[in-house]
Amino acid sequence: MKKPVIDQDLCLHCGTCCFICPKVFSQKQPGSVPSVQEMDDYSAFAPQIEQAINACPGVAISWESGDDGSEKSV
């Protein structure tokens, strides 16, 4: 299963991902680092996650897949 991850060092805290896909990304308060909601399967939200990945101004979102935790940027 692949899961979206946010690199907190690259994140600009703008909330774009939360606006595009609020079922997956959320911020506790404006200006804070967004978090990824835990789910068993993200495939239902893959198009919105891809849109958030492409729209992220800090290029901070990528897919993590596999049991080894390796990341695959899209």
Asked whether the predicted pLDDT for residue 55 surpasses 50, the reply is yes
| Banded pLDDT at 74 (limits 50, 70, 90) | very low
- The pLDDT > 90 percentage for the chain reads 81
Domain count, the chain: 1
Residue 52 structural domain: 2-72
- Secondary structure element (H or E) that encloses residue 47, with its range: helix 46-55
Our CA dihedral for 67, 74, 51, 61, rounded to 10 degrees, sits at 60
Give the closest residue to 41 by CA, choosing from 2, 72, 67: 2
pLDDT of residue 69: 52
Asked whether the predicted pLDDT for residue 59 surpasses 50, the reply is yes
pLDDT of residue 45: 98
Asked whether the predicted pLDDT for residue 24 surpasses 60, the reply is yes
What is the CATH number for 10?
Answer: 3.30.70.20
